[in-house]
A and B are shown apart, each in its own frame.
Chain A
């Protein structure tokens, strides 16, 4: 984990934020990045939400990891979310490890790193912190709130919590309440982390368990067909099977690489906290079992997008959101994009998806201008 997070943009939120767990926090940092320029009317701002392992560096080169931003295919000059036209904002989530208040921060009361003494946070808490940032930037109404996976959950929560704060809401490949299967998969990752003898509650990295968690999670981001086409039974070193437990197959080698590079950039305790926030997400329960009530007050225009090969957040779960929106007469469009790239489709170059995203945002902007 690279702790060189000193030079990144941070807002110190002085106000008190009441967390769902009952504790409250104040004077805490929220790291963020912006792209493009906010126009005079302040109506071209788009708040993007990152997924589990993302950060505020949406596009361009991430100054900390030196790798491409996580949504480079979708965001940038001339891209689907065109930064020549729009002002794009992204904040590192609460509990994250890219400069925002999280388990890697030092607890001023003990002068030690929080580790697992950090309060358990929820998607609602994460979104509350980001609303402070939007207020700080002087934006009264965002053109769009958009995100995939956990980012989509934040988009739903944001518009539910602040019904007048966004002209449009774009939840992608997500769900309004985390399924048992998804909780199970997250628990698998957490147990892998905590089973690692090097994992420490206070300071956690490097961590072999985190690499295993990432490997398992990575499989869930791809489709069976996609994996088969990309790797099949191809061997790593063209020769024959080695009759050992080394990475004989390309898929093994690929997953090991994904796991090991992840450990360099991510904190194991952050992984625990953020997966927990996802598991606790249940918008339906927030409204006593009636998801429609979550959107009753909003005039925001929704565009729900799912992917045909996504089995982690399948079309059926995305459709639950659409059904709830229809039931309260909200303004909603929905499309399932054909892709064999699984859940990861929203991060990849899937032209039909990028076109839909771009045209929806552009038409919304034209409508409000």
Chain B
């Protein structure tokens, strides 16, 4: 299981209800179900991945978060997880509002567009950055709304969204983001992981 999922699973307490949005092949869900006795549900737009999840005994619904989240009642999950997908939605702000409505807490991770390699790529090559974490060209990328860690934090502040925890990942190394090290982390982190409500 990738490091990001380990970080997310450590945030989630045992025996809680979790909704994993864009759950893929259900790796995180399976881990949470088996090791932390979480009551997990998933939402995934790709049929083949949904079938994979169902075959693992995971309750996953085929569907698009931008259309489907509305059906879940308020605060019906202890945690809603959205891993590296916010930037791919047509209306990320609306999706985020839904997450905050459904979950008592929301765990969200974003690929950091402020990472130094990305900055240098644009600065020196003058072309849209293509990195290991963001491996798409401008014409085929699903990522419509890239942002930086700083952008996301600013956004939360402006919308009165409470950030309970902020972590970042660089080359598998995990650390905490604080007000003090924010500028530094915004340059040197590949991924931001936030617990918000």
Chain A residues within CB distance 8 Å of chain B: 301-303, 322-323, 326-327, 329, 331-338, 352, 355-356, 359-360, 363-364, 366-367
Contact = CB atoms under 8 A, between A and B. Distances in A.
Given A327-B72, A336-B47, A338-B47, A363 B61 contact: no
10 contacts: A302-B59, A303-B54, A322-B71, A327-B71, A329-B17, A333-B53, A333-B58, A334-B60, A334-B62, A360-B57
Given A337-B47, A356-B51, A366-B57, 8 more contacts: A327-B72, A331-B39, A334-B50, A335-B47, A335-B54, A336-B47, A338-B47, A359-B56
A364 B54 CA distance: 10
B55 A326 contact: no
Nearest to B57: A363
Nearest to B50: A335
Given A327-B73, A356-B55, A359-B55, A334 B47 contact: no
Interface of B: 17, 39, 41, 47, 50-51, 53-63, 71-73, 76
Contacts of A334: 50, 60-63
A333 B59 CA distance: 4
A359 B53 CA distance: 10
B51 A326 contact: no
Closest 7 CB pairs of A and B: A363-B57, A359-B55, A333-B59, A323-B71, A334-B61, A335-B50, A335-B62
Contacts of A336: 47, 62
Contacts of A331: 39, 41, 59
Contacts of A338: 47
A302 B58 CA distance: 11
Contact of A355 (B50, B55, B58): B55
A335 B45 CA distance: 10
Nearest to A336: B62
A101 B76 CA distance: 45
B47 A322 contact: no
A289 to B, nearest CB: 17
A322 B51 contact: no
Contacts of B47: 335-338
B73 A329 contact: yes
B51 A352 contact: yes
Contact of A356 (B41, B54, B73, B76): B54
A322 B61 contact: yes
Interface centre among A303, A322, A326, A367 (most CB of B within 10 A): A326
A324 B73 CA distance: 10
A329 B76 CA distance: 7
Contacts of B62: 334-336
Given A335-B51, A336-B62, A367 B72 contact: no
A323 B63 CA distance: 11
Contacts of B41: 331-332
B147 to A, nearest CB: 29
A335 B61 CA distance: 6
Contact of B60 (A323, A333, A352, A367): A333
B23 to A, nearest CB: 11
A326 B54 contact: no
A332 B57 contact: no
B71 A360 contact: no
B71 A326 contact: yes
Contacts of B39: 331
Nearest to B56: A363
Given A355-B51, A356-B51, A363-B56, A333 B61 contact: yes
A356 B159 CA distance: 42
A364 B57 CA distance: 6
A165 B138 CA distance: 54
A302 B59 CA distance: 8
Interface centre among A303, A329, A332, A337 (most CB of B within 10 A): A329
Nearest to B42: A333
Contacts of B55: 355-356, 359-360, 363
A306 to B, nearest CB: 9
A301 to B, nearest CB: 7
Contacts of B53: 333
A359 B60 CA distance: 13
Contacts of A303: 54, 59
A305 to B, nearest CB: 9
B54 A333 contact: yes
A329 B56 CA distance: 20
B75 to A, nearest CB: 11
Contacts of A337: 47
A326 B17 CA distance: 13
A356 B54 CA distance: 7
Interface centre among B41, B53, B61, B73 (most CB of A within 10 A): B61
B57 A367 contact: yes
Nearest to A360: B54
Contacts of B76: 329
B59 A326 contact: no
Contacts of A364: 57
